[in-house]
Homo-oligomer: A and B are copies of this chain.
Amino acid sequence: MATATRRLALGLDYGSDSARAVLVDVATGAEVAQAVANYPRWTKGLYCNPAKQQFRQHPQDYLDVLVAIITGALKKAGKGAGEQVIAIGIDTTGSTPIAVDRDGVALAMKAEFAEDPDAMFVLWKDHTAIAEAEEINALCHGGKHKDYTATCGGIYSSEWYWAKALHVTRANKKVAKAAVSWVEHCDWLPGVLTGNNLPATMVRGRCSAGHKAMWAAEWGGLPDATFLAALDPRLAATRAHYAADTTTADQAVGGLLSAWAKRLGLKAGIAVASGAFDCHLGAVGAGATPFVLTKVMGTSTCDMIVAPAAAIRGTVAGICGQVDGSIVPGMIGLEAGQSAFGDVYAWYKRLLGWPLAGNPKLAALLDGLLPALEQAAAALPPAGDVVAVDWFNGRRTPDADQRLRGAIAGLHLGSDAPAVYRALVEATAYGSKAIMDRIISEGVKVDGVIAIGGIAQKSPLVMQICADVLQRPIGVVASDQCCALGSAIVAAVAAKVYPNVAAAQKHMASKIATTYKPSKKTAAAFAAGYARYQRLGAALVADARG
């Protein structure tokens, strides 16, 4: 029986709204089965306050779906599939940290914190820590301390680990008192599954540590205690509960605990790889090679490029991070991105859907809204009267500033819903161009662009506009589960099926399925549109500064 010899890697991909388990044949990279589930509490809107940009997720949500998606995928893969799984790889959103106690228990898992949003994961897109990020930047740039922003483009973001930990520490005394350390979602889940979860000794992934917690080998790990104490002594105290070294995603954190193995239908002791952020493992799944820009295009974007250390001159200004081994071990991983991409379209859908909301009879109309807008917008000329700026969730790169906001201008009485939609799509494409241009102007060449993620797979209009605005071909990979595939690839390396990520990618990574070619015809219109975008953006920056 062919399945008897089959070896599977289980890639788990924890996104913003749902998680997915994908079973991948380690010999071929073929997807054998997958299952997906939405976070139940999150779906109900619990613990969030969109008006304050507070977005929290309960750890129990992650565990509930863990069981559902793994058992679901195994069931689809057929009898005996559980026995064939040799390793688990995990990617999650980030920076999405949570406060843990001395035993490594996430605070919200304890009865007294079960309903406290501050004891939950602070989701990547939570922007409650804007003031704290500014304080961190001021401290880094004040001259008294080392500039720990050197590896994150010169600007620390409110979306990241220390800003969030500082915000919650100040905002919630009870949580601050109970918090011994803060743990990223991508590190927490491997810790839970392997029992390697004591804060001081558990494995911290290179990707999350380097990109979000200012961890760097060159300054001996985390920022030093005097720096952290200057922010808050309680933060400095957490430093002792964070291992000095970090681990790349191709290394095993430990073996699957037998209790979890039983519950999930897997073998006890199989390798669980060190977790990493979804986008970084997405780039691995997409087969990223040096100097190819991999864009993960979903609710937000993550734009990544790997390059040998020799190709990078110092700090790449205005991006999110440059971390040795964060994407592919042995290479510098550069990360940038837009804080909102598909979320901009989703916002517009909510806006136009306001009259329909809460009426089950109109659900079909609401569901059909974006497709209808896309169809109507496709017929409109490029870069028309309406111009927008995509900073609806702040600006991550270039030059992080989460205080910035989106805008729509050039509106007149004849500007209809598709025209505004098209302007929003163009704005997100302009945001992509701003990032690519910055990478290039900072001296890192871009030899190609590949795209993964829901938008890349599902929206030909958005992708064509991106290709036209970037004036670059964009290859969209075949797999619609590249992040999970990347997790499966590093899991296969962690299980020693392959000696390294590059070797595993050769057998398992996805191929390019579709290439969007830039149109020469629209180039001039989009160049003019991009100039308007930049001018409007400059005005918004000026406004944000009062």
**A residues whose Cβ falls under 8 Å from a Cβ of B:** 50-53, 125, 340, 343, 346-347, 350-356, 362, 365-366, 369, 372, 385, 392-394, 405-418, 420, 532, 535-536, 538-540, 542-543
Q: Which of B366, B405, B409 contacts A543 (CB 8 A)?
A: B409
CB–CB B411/A405 < 8 A: yes
* Complex partner residue of A351 from B50, B394, B406, B416, CB under 8 angstroms: B416
Given contacts A354-B418, A355-B355, 12 further A-B contacts (CB under 8 A): A50-B414, A351-B417, A355-B372, A393-B412, A406-B412, A407-B410, A408-B408, A408-B411, A409-B540, A410-B543, A539-B539, A539-B540
Chain B residues with Cβ under 8 A from A420's Cβ?
351
What's the Cα separation between A125 and B356 when bound, in Å?
32
- CB of A392 within 8 A of CB of B369, answer no
Q: How far is the CA of A418 from the CA of B350 in the complex (A)?
A: 12
Task: For A411, list chain B residues within 8 Å (CB).
Answer: 347, 392, 405-408
| A546–chain B nearest beta-carbon distance, Å | 8
Judge whether A350 and B539 touch: CB under 8 Å.
Answer: no
Closest Cβ of chain B: how far from A214's Cβ, in Å?
Answer: 26
Nearest Cβ on chain B to A533's Cβ, whole angstroms = 10
Complex formed: what's the CA distance from A385 to B393 in Å? 13
Inter-chain contacts of A392 with B (CB < 8 A): 411-413, 415
Given known A-B contacts A539-B535, A539-B536, A413 and B340 have beta carbons under 8 A apart: yes
B414–A405 touching, CB < 8 Å: no
**By the criterion CB–CB under 8 Å, are A53 and B540 in contact?**
no
Could you give 17 example pairs across A and B, Cβ below 8 Å? A50-B414, A51-B414, A346-B413, A347-B411, A350-B416, A351-B420, A352-B355, A354-B418, A362-B362, A405-B410, A405-B412, A409-B540, A532-B543, A535-B539, A536-B539, A536-B543, A539-B542
Q: Which B residue sits closest to A353, measured CB to CB?
A: B355
- Tell me if B542 and A413 are in contact (CB < 8 A): no
Chain A: interface secondary structure?
Answer: helix
Name A409's contact: one of B125, B394, B407, B412 (CB within 8 Å): B407
Name which residue of chain B comes closest to A419, CB basis: B51
Q: For the complex, what is the distance from the CA of A427 to the CA of B405, rounded to whole Å?
A: 18
Contact of A415 with B347 in the complex, beta carbons under 8 Å: yes
Name the one of B50, B362, B365, B412 contacting A413, with C-beta atoms under 8 angstroms.
B50
Counting from the closest, the 9 A-B pairs by CB-CB distance are A539-B539, A354-B417, A50-B414, A407-B409, A406-B411, A405-B410, A51-B414, A408-B408, A347-B413
Task: Kindly state the separation between the CA atoms of A228 and B53 in the bound complex, as whole angstroms.
Answer: 59
State the CA gap A406–B407 with chains docked (Å). Answer: 11
Q: How far is the CB of A399 from chain B (nearest CB, A)?
A: 18
User: For the complex, what is the distance from the CA of A286 to the CA of B372, rounded to whole Å?
Assistant: 47
Closest residue of chain B to A380 (Cβ to Cβ) is: B51
Q: Which chain B residue shows the least CB distance to A414?
A: B50
Are B413 and A53 in contact (CB-based, < 8 A)?
yes
Docked-complex contact B352 and A354, CB < 8 angstroms: yes
User: Which residues from B are CB-within-8-Å of A353?
Assistant: 355
CB distance from A538 to the nearest CB of B (A): 8
* B-chain residues with CB within 8 Å of residue A372 when the two chains form the complex: 355
Whether the pair B343, A355 counts as a contact (CB closer than 8 A) is: no
User: Nearest Cβ distance between residue A21 and chain B, in whole angstroms?
Assistant: 28
Residue of B nearest to A365 (CB): B355
Q: Contacts of A369 on B, CB cut-off 8 Å?
A: 355
Give the interface centre of A51, A354, A372 by most chain B CB atoms within 10 Å: A354
- The smallest beta-carbon distance between A505 and chain B, in angstroms, is 35
Residue from the set A52, A343, A415, A420 with the largest chain B CB neighbour count within 10 Å:
A415
Minimum Cβ distance to chain B for residue A225 (Å): 36
In the bound assembly, the distance between CA atoms of A51 and B413 in angstroms comes to 8
Alpha-carbon distance A218/B495, docked complex (angstroms): 95
Report the Cα distance A385→B540, complex, angstroms. Answer: 13
Tell me the complex Cα distance, A295–B346, Å: 39
* Cβ A409 vs Cβ B417 within 8 A: no
Instruction: Check A343 against B413 for contact (C-beta < 8 Å).
Output: yes
Q: Within the assembled complex, what's the spacing in Å between the Cα atoms of A343 and B407?
A: 20
* Complex CA distance for A540 and B412, rounded to whole angstroms: 13
In whole angstroms, how far apart are the Cα atoms of A414 and B51 in the complex?
A: 5
Q: How far in angstroms is the closest Cβ of chain B from A253?
A: 34
